[in-house]
Chain A
Amino acid sequence: MLSKLTKTKAPTSTDFSDSYYVASQWELVRRKFKRHKLARVGIIVLALFYTIAIFAGFFSLSDYQKRDVDHVTMPPQNLHFFDEQGKFHLRPFVCNYIYTLNMDTLERMFEEDTSNCYDIQFLVHTHPYKFWGIFETDLHLIGVESPGYYFPFGTDEFGRDLFSRNVYASRISLSIGFVGVILSFFLGSIIGGISGYFGGAIDMVIQRIIEFIISIPSIPLWIALAAALPHDWSSVEVYFGITIVLATVGWTTLARTVRGKFLELREADFVMAAKISNMSDFHIIIKHLLPSFASYLIVILTLSIPGMILGETALSFLEIGIRPPAVSWGVLLQDAQNIRSLALHPWLFIPAIYVIVTVLAFNFIGDGLRDAADPYKQ
């Protein structure tokens, strides 16, 4: 669908050089995918997000759990290139903020203290953190020397740096989709495979079960299952609990596709040939059937990751998903639940932008892959 939007161009004469005819199927898919512009944008965005998530400590500006009582619900700090005299600085700088209490509304009013400014430093040694839990370091990509500070996304009600919290939150939010999808992949391909390959009564029963699961409204079901996770579980246990909850619904779509493909290919000549050669059922499934529609599986998996990410965000937002002190985008959005505080501090909504951009990127890539994997599409 989207390929039409981005206008995949018709193959020119150079495309049909010898290399086109000898290229493997995957090579053809790769070439077609490269022509899909939005999908490429998606790849770049996700590569950036995942790099930041993997090296969260290196990219964070402050300790994401540190509470700073002097900077509670501070708005995002401005980055300056021009000083008060209008002189241009190649190295940007930020100024510290001072606050006054508005006695009428009891609100904190933050103001920039232009006499108290600090340059942004690159590859700077500031707060210490544990790199992948292995060794201690204090090297960061950017930072400001103490007593200066830089909160590009502002702070929350405890004065914690929202930028660094977002960076750490992306670890859970971005990985939960993958873990959930891997789980649904196993469930879906095994159950769908059994259903499609054997057919008959087994197929009937499995299909009815799938139809039933699809007809249960997913969010109430997720809420019910997530509420069942024991309160005394550790963050890691809750994390896997949530992925299992998400996968209980997620595997069904995959199982349906796998079944459909199995039914279609079961009658194919190469399967018949394999059967006559006395190959075992299991062997035929693994060796011949699965590889022949692997590209479809990849497309469906890519397109189901955003659903998982949104599911986690929704559950955490309702306070029955990931639990603080662990942070995910949904946990950060809990602060935006109170609409009055959101109206006063709109920067609390920044995590939502991350969620939307991530989901869009996955959808673009999925669409690009779908078009690329379709052999009948030029």
Chain B
Amino acid sequence: MHKYLLQRLGYLIILLWVTTIVTFIVIELPPGDYVSTLVSRLEGTGHTISEETRQQIQKEFGLDKPVHIRYIKWVEQITNGNLGYSFDWKRPVKELIGQRLTLTITIALLSTIVTYAIAIPIGIYSATHQYSLGDYIFTTWGFIGLAIPNFMLALVLLFIGLRYFGVNLSGLYSKEFMDAPWSIAKLLDLAKHLPIPVFVVATGGSAGLIRVLRATLLDELEKQYVITARSKGLPSAKVLFKYPVRICLNPLISNLAWLFPHLISGGAITAIVLGLPTAGPMMLRALITQDTYLAGSILLFLTILTLLGTVISDVLLVVVDPRIRMERSSS
């Protein structure tokens, strides 16, 4: 077990290193750099910039050095906890993304919990009441949930809120709390706004999980041991929860590995539509203005988050399933 954990940890470190390279490549891909974007934007508004000033800005941001030097410098800074400087916001990246990432993680974690809270009871119900009205309703709902992209669902909810109830559901805080320091009242206000994004993000994920759980549980319920247990006169709730349901939780846990990236990714686009102060919208803007360090840091952290999600799901699987535990510790 310990050996497995160590192995997993070593692998994680290699992945983190690869992540920094990929992030850096993605960030360097757009033609031109922040200075050229800035210059063309200024020229668009009628300003002219001399070649000298241009070079000066470039030097100031270290953009005149070759790629590999910039990469090494960037990684060096990150390991020192310095994420660089946002050209666009004129503030250190660390200050900018701290709170936004916390909110992103909060929404992702809450959505994970809600996803499972929706999917597990419904999946069990659908499988045990196959072809019942409820099963049909949930299966249909699952199909539609998979077909509606997050951002459309967010738009529809915004639309319904504004058109029929006259309330604006976007954002995470009411106006009066926007810049207020943290307090109980602000926290309550946040709690009022959170359900919409959490619900939107959780819908798509739970639709997939319901399908998986329903299918595996249906297969499991047909097996001999269930029939044996039933014929022994075990109460049906016990027959259901003692073995088949526990076995079916396995694929759900291994699904966590893809669910987490999915939720982060769905969360990003939902946040853009709902205008939430999370990392997604900031990253979109940073990419468009070629604010390299900011966009890079956000992509890096989002990827690290999902990598951690994968590790957690792997470890959980080992904890839950003795078969996998045996296999992994013997290898």
Binding site for B on A (CB under 8 A): 1-2, 4-5, 7, 211-212, 214-221, 223-225, 227-228, 230, 306, 310, 313-314, 317-318, 320, 333, 336-337, 339-340, 342-343, 346, 349, 352, 355-356, 359-360, 363-364
Contacts and interface: CB of A to CB of B under 8 A. Distances in A.
A227 B288 contact: yes
Interface residues of B, number: 58
28 contacts: A1-B214, A4-B130, A7-B131, A212-B22, A218-B265, A219-B266, A220-B265, A220-B280, A221-B26, A223-B283, A224-B29, A228-B31, A230-B31, A306-B147, A313-B149, A314-B269, A317-B151, A318-B269, A318-B272, A318-B284, A320-B288, A339-B170, A342-B155, A352-B156, A355-B152, A359-B147, A363-B143, A364-B143
Contacts of B265: 217-220
Interface string B1-39: 000000000000001001100100011011100000000
Interface in B122-179: 130-131, 136, 139, 143-144, 146-149, 151-152, 155-156, 158-159, 162-163, 168, 170
B265 to A, nearest CB: 4
Interface string B35-65: 0000000000000000000000000000000
A225 B26 contact: yes
Contacts, number: 132
B155 A217 contact: no
B38 to A, nearest CB: 15
Contacts of B284: 223, 227, 318, 320
Contacts of A1: 211, 214-215
A177 B54 CA distance: 43
Contacts of B155: 336, 339, 342, 349, 352
Contacts of A4: 130-131, 218
B261 interface: yes
B209 interface: no
B268 interface: yes
A219 B273 CA distance: 14
A346 B156 CA distance: 10
A90 to B, nearest CB: 37
A343 B30 contact: no
A360 B262 CA distance: 19
Given A220-B283, A363-B146, 4 more contacts: A214-B258, A217-B303, A225-B29, A349-B159
A343 B156 CA distance: 10
Contacts of A314: 149, 151, 269
Interface in B261-282: 261-262, 264-266, 268-269, 272-273, 280
Interface of B: 15, 18-19, 22, 26-27, 29-31, 130-131, 136, 139, 143-144, 146-149, 151-152, 155-156, 158-159, 162-163, 168, 170, 211, 214-215, 218, 257-258, 261-262, 264-266, 268-269, 272-273, 280, 283-284, 287-288, 295, 298-299, 302-303, 306-307, 309-310
B282 to A, nearest CB: 11
A214 B26 contact: no
B112 to A, nearest CB: 14
B295 A356 contact: no
A204 B155 CA distance: 43
User: Counting chain B CB atoms within 10 Å of each CB, which of A224, A320, A355, A356 scores highest?
Assistant: A224
User: Counting chain A CB atoms within 10 Å of each CB, which of B29, B139, B162, B287 scores highest?
Assistant: B287
Contacts of A224: 26-27, 29, 283, 287, 295, 299
A217 B26 contact: no
User: Counting chain B CB atoms within 10 Å of each CB, which of A1, A2, A339 scores highest?
Assistant: A339
A5 B136 contact: yes
Contacts of A218: 261-262, 265
A216 B269 contact: no
Contacts of A306: 147
Given A225-B26, A342-B155, A346-B159, A217 B147 contact: no
Contacts of A320: 284, 287-288
- Top 10 A-B residue pairs of the complex, sorted by shortest distance between their CB atoms: A228-B29, A217-B265, A219-B265, A227-B287, A359-B147, A228-B30, A217-B264, A217-B261, A360-B147, A224-B26
B149 A310 contact: yes
Nearest to A222: B265
A215 B261 contact: yes
B310 to A, nearest CB: 5
Nearest to B306: A215
A199 B288 CA distance: 42
Given A214-B258, A219-B265, A227 B158 contact: no
A340 B288 CA distance: 25
Contacts of A7: 131
Contacts of A211: 310
Given A1-B211, A220-B268, A355-B152, A212 B15 contact: yes
B205 to A, nearest CB: 13
A238 to B, nearest CB: 14
Nearest to A227: B287
B143 A343 contact: no
Contacts of B215: 1
Contacts of A221: 26, 299
Contacts of A212: 15, 18-19, 22
A219 B269 contact: yes
A227 B299 CA distance: 13
B272 A343 contact: no
User: Counting chain A CB atoms within 10 Å of each CB, which of B152, B156, B283, B307 scores highest?
Assistant: B152
